[in-house]
Amino acid sequence: MSETVLVTGGAGFIGRFVCDELLRRGNTVRVLDALIPQVHGDGGRPEQLAEDVELIHADVRDGDAVARALSGVDSVIHLAAEVGVGQSMYEVERYTSVNDVGTAVLFERLIDNPVRRVVTASSMSIYGEGLYRDADGAIVENAERGIVRDGQANWEPVDAQGRPLTPMATPEWKRPSLASIYALNKYVQERTTHIMGAPYGIESVCLRLFNVYGPGQALSNPYTGVLAIFAARLLNGQRPMIFEDGEQRRDFVHVTDVARAFADALVDGKAVGKTFNIGSGNDRSVTQVAEALARAMGKNDTAPEIVGKARIGDIRHCFCDTTLAAEALGFTAQQDFIEGLAELAEWVGRQTAQDNVAHARAELEKRGLVA
């Protein structure tokens, strides 16, 4: 089934791969994107955006532009968002405006320009801490942690008796624990999509993305994905900067797998009305990831810098339970992580990037957001 698909935020890192996948499947693709400088530099059309994609340079909060973009469209993939946990904690108005108000504007215009289906990008950040098991084997959904106990840094969540909790893969049924403004924004986007879809005859699907990586990320944006941040540091001869002790665990999923998940979610009948985790199903420590990327970039002697401090809003462990996506959406990640890192390293080697990580850390510290 070929359609005309609007991809909001489609000129961004994930969006460009989504557009490529949609084109490969025979769709006509239109993009609405504000091309903000933090992501796109000079704001011109990205070279990586396929020539066959129609680009409308406009803000998702511009109702008239959104209405024009929806004209003749059959379905929508909604990616437009400000991204980054740390920055969301001090640029609260901008994040909430773009993410929540922008989504509201989109769905308000969809009332008069209905489409068959909307697939919205959400985030694993809505979980807060992932799922855990306590020493007695009981499931713990609401794990929390203190940063310092008895004068020692203790990064791991514990139960009421002070016993360590064991992290588990996090499924969709875990209750949200919104630890940052960004997480709150993404949950609002999810709920807006499902609440507004059914009354207006629009099928709704949401995808909770885990840590997406691959070539094409904005290397000079210090609030982008952690692998792109590490790559920019290594490219500039700097050590990757890791908060806490580096043993926090995440799930890294390649952008081509994510693009395939969006294209599948746009057409799969079993996806309607559901929210899915999209990850690889494999967890790694942040230190392991930094070291693997350094090796892939030929920087074997560049050990990561372990900061030993925590950012407000960060969580300890969260990695993906992929069961529901496999059963209902037929989605399983295919890209091997080490091969994906080699591809990323090859691409990074051809780029130039400004290392803005120290500036971003200073912005957090002066606002008391680093403990």
Q: What is the pLDDT of residues 56-113, one digit of tens each?
A: 999 999 999 999 999 999 999 999 999 988 888 889 999 999 999 999 999 999 999 9
Enter the tokens of residue 116: 């068959």
Enter the tokens of residue 189: 């986007």
Name the β-bridge partners of 80.
none
Q: Using 50, 70 and 90 to split pLDDT, how confident is the model at 151?
A: very low
Candidate list 182, 187, 213, 223, residue with the active-site label: 182
Distance between CA atoms of 260 and 255, rounded to whole angstroms? Answer: 9
Alpha carbon 309 to chain centroid distance? 23
pTM of the model: 0.92
Torsion angles phi and psi, residue 132, rounded to 5: -135, 165
Q: Are 18 and 259 in contact (CB under 8 A)?
A: yes
Query: What pLDDT does 152 receive?
Result: 46
Name the β-bridge partners of 253.
212
Q: Using 50, 70 and 90 to split pLDDT, how confident is the model at 162?
A: confident
Q: Are 288 and 136 in contact (CB under 8 A)?
A: no
335 lies in some domain? yes
158 vs 77, higher pLDDT: 77
371 lies in some domain? no
SS3 207: strand
On the CB side of 196, how many CA atoms lie within 13 Å of its CA?
A: 24
Query: What pLDDT does 351 receive?
Result: 75
- Catalytic-residue membership of 182: yes
217 lies in some domain? yes
201 lies in some domain? yes
Query: What pLDDT does 220 receive?
Result: 63
CB proximity list for 342: less than 8 A, separation 6 or greater: 296
89 lies in some domain? yes
Query: What pLDDT does 364 receive?
Result: 47
Q: How many other C-beta atoms lie within 10 A of the C-beta of residue 15?
A: 26
DSSP string, 175-197: PP---SHHHHHHHHHHHHHHHHH
SS3 270: helix
Q: Is residue 207 predicted with pLDDT exceeding 60?
A: yes
Q: Kindly give the pairing relationship between strand 249-254 and strand 211-213.
A: parallel
305 lies in some domain? yes
Range of the domain at 248: 4-131+168-366
Residue 52's closest CA among 79, 82, 31? 31
Alpha carbon 11 to chain centroid distance? 15
226 vs 206, higher pLDDT: 206
Q: Using 50, 70 and 90 to split pLDDT, how confident is the model at 360?
A: very low
Put the strands of the sheet holding 166-167 in their side by side order: 139-140, 132-133, 166-167
156 lies in some domain? no
Arithmetic mean of pLDDT over the chain: 90
Distance between CA atoms of 17 and 20, rounded to whole angstroms? Answer: 5
> Domain total for the chain?
1
Torsion angles phi and psi, residue 312, rounded to 5: -60, 130
The CATH number assigned to the domain holding 172 equals 3.40.50.720
Q: What is the pLDDT of residues 235-260, one digit of tens each?
A: 888 899 898 899 999 999 999 999 99
Q: What is the pLDDT of residues 333-358, one digit of tens each?
A: 999 999 999 999 898 888 765 655 55
∠ CA 230-14-257, rounded to 5°? 90
158 lies in some domain? no
